[in-house]
Structure 1
Amino acid sequence: MSTELTAAAALALLGLLVGSFLNVVVHRVPAGQSVVRPGSSCPECGSPVRARDNIPVVSWLLLRGRCRDCAHPISARYPLVELGCAALFGALTLRFGLSPILPALLFLAAIGLALAMIDLDVSRLPFEISVPGLGVTAVLLALAGFADGWSPVAVALLSALAWFGLYWSLWFGTGGRGMGLGDVVLAPTLGLALGWLGWGPSLVGLLGGFAIGSVVGVTLMLVGRAGRRSQIPFGPSMLAGALLGAFAGSAIWGAYLGTIG
């Protein structure tokens, strides 16, 4: 097995563990609860989750998706979040290798997955995650700068400003009806990280989020799941656009410039 595949496999395993913790974050942060204490327990009978039942994915399969004590069903979303985080970690490692920017991208993938799940659940992006997320991302990018040079800094800062400016304008211009404040707070973090990768990833990520959101909205209306006045969480589309920008933004932007050049 090549070094790249070995690294991707190792970080995918790490993603499983991180995904297990993200399930706690998704459940507790919106409720204002600590993500550290108390330990995990069954929401139905209150029995503590045993250590052997905390193995990502495997424990859910062995328990057949039910609590060991009361047989209450355990949502399939738990192993899906774990697998999703593992897939993101592995894919990002294959795409960027063991580069200095990888830790920042892995961190954003983790909090982005948690924020998307929370937004789908309660229609908000908690500041408890997004505000410190900006600081952590900035620190991780600074470490990347020390290791690999500071040439991306100017574009990253301008990108963060552009993302924030657009989202703030939409929020302010609609009186908060067309854009949530949580989206505004998250925007500069995504802009900063994607801008570090270049203008192509930043712009594709920015515009891609709105394109994905439009497709989701129209699809939900066509199948009767939403109306013209329905409030549809935008965070997942925003984050999906950022993911598109990270993985394919340079190629897409280059192809676009080729068509107009």
Structure 2
Amino acid sequence: MSAALIALAAAYGAAAGLLVPRPAHRLSVEPGEPWRAQCPGGHPIPGWLGRGRCPACRAPYGPAPAPAAAGTALACAALAAAVGPRPELAVWLLLAPPAVLLALVDRRVQRLPDVLTLPLAALAATALGAVAWLAGTPAPWLRALLGGLALAAAYLLLFLLNPAGLGLGDVKLALGLGVALGWYGWGVLLAGAAAGILLGALHGAYLLVVRRVGRATTMPLGPAMLVGSFLALLLGAKGP
């Protein structure tokens, strides 16, 4: 059962990951600009879901589909292996593709769009609330809500202290991540927050050492926050 569940989660992740390049291309614009509606050749893009390739000129756009599918599949398989057949697995699998999309957009244009971060937080809270209601155990859900508020408040404080170091998009992303991490406890929440900051600092230090960026360069924090939260979520799902 466990192997079948992992394989099913990986297949779902791969299929969902193939749909990521198109919205990543459309959302990867600077603040104030409208979402992209055309392929590199100037042809209109039909909708938000589908392959990242223009049906008219066959030109590819957005992130490469194979790495996006592989990364999403690996994340979903790891979640299935850690969580097992518990009901919250459905929530994590639902959140995984938009989390990958957020990481790709932030990496491309250093932006976490509200159209992704806020619905992600709402989806996490609503779906986990449904799980808590079905299980008859409201305590984890209430802790998740408090965790989201706590992590968002912590990032808001960091933003106010150093607005050049992170943006309000990171604060809004922290709201959803805090909800997910809070489901497994305050220790998991702290571990995920610390891991995200540490990974961001290590990545920035590496780029400085290899001279790919300067000291004044602004670097996206969203991918590090997402990876750190993902790792903490895996540990939290496995339990002590």
TM-score w.r.t. length of structure 2: 0.85
Identity of matched residues, %: 32
1:198 aligns with 2:185: yes
1:238 aligns with 2:225: yes
What is the CA–CA distance in structure 1 between the aligned matches of 2:24 and 2:63, rounded to whole Å? 14
Q: Which amino acid in structure 1 is aligned with residue 155 of structure 2? A: Y
Residue 117 of structure 2 corresponds to which residue in structure 1?
Answer: 130
Greater Rg over alpha carbons, structure? 1
Counterparts in 2 of 1:68 and 1:162: CA distance versus 1, 3 Å: closer
Shift of 1:160: 1.4
Which among 142, 157, 160 is matched to residue 172 of structure 1? Answer: 160
Shift of 1:42: 6.0
Q: Which amino acid in structure 2 is aligned with residue 236 of structure 1? A: P
Contact 1:100 1:143 in 2 (8 A): no
Q: Secondary structure of the equivalent of 1:152?
A: helix
1:156 aligns with 2:154: no
Residue 13 of structure 1 corresponds to which residue in structure 2?
Answer: 11
Shift of 1:108: 2.4
Residue 89 of structure 2 corresponds to which residue in structure 1?
Answer: 102
Q: Secondary structure of the equivalent of 1:228?
A: coil
Q: Any unmatched runs of 5+ in structure 2? A: none
Shift of 1:229: 1.1
Offset from partner CA, 1:195-227 (integer Å, 9 cap, x none)? 001122211100100110110011000000112
What is the CA–CA distance in structure 2 between the aligned matches of 1:216 and 1:130, rounded to whole Å? 22
Q: Any unmatched runs of 5+ in structure 1? A: 57-65, 255-261
Segments of 4+ moved more than 6 angstroms: 66-71, 73-76
Shift of 1:6: 0.9
Matches within 5 A, 1:4-83: 4-31=2-29, 32-33=34-35, 43-44=40-41, 46=43, 77-83=64-70
Shift of 1:20: 1.6
What is the CA–CA distance in structure 1 between the aligned matches of 2:62 and 2:147, rounded to whole Å? 38
Contact 1:167 1:184 in 2 (8 A): yes
Shift of 1:101: 0.9
Which among 210, 216, 230 is matched to residue 197 of structure 2? Answer: 210
Counterparts in 2 of 1:9 and 1:214: CA distance versus 1, 3 Å: same
Number of residue pairs aligned between Structure 1 and Structure 2: 232
Counterparts in 2 of 1:48 and 1:115: CA distance versus 1, 3 Å: closer
Q: Which amino acid in structure 2 is aligned with residue 163 of structure 1? A: L
Q: Secondary structure of the equivalent of 1:229?
A: coil
Q: Which amino acid in structure 1 is aligned with residue 104 of structure 2? A: M
What is the CA–CA distance in structure 1 between the aligned matches of 2:41 and 2:109, rounded to whole Å? 20
Contact 1:104 1:193 in 2 (8 A): no
What is the CA–CA distance in structure 1 between the aligned matches of 2:86 and 2:210, rounded to whole Å? 43
Offset from partner CA, 1:140-183 (integer Å, 9 cap, x none)? 10111012221213422332122011100011122x21211100
Shift of 1:74: 6.7
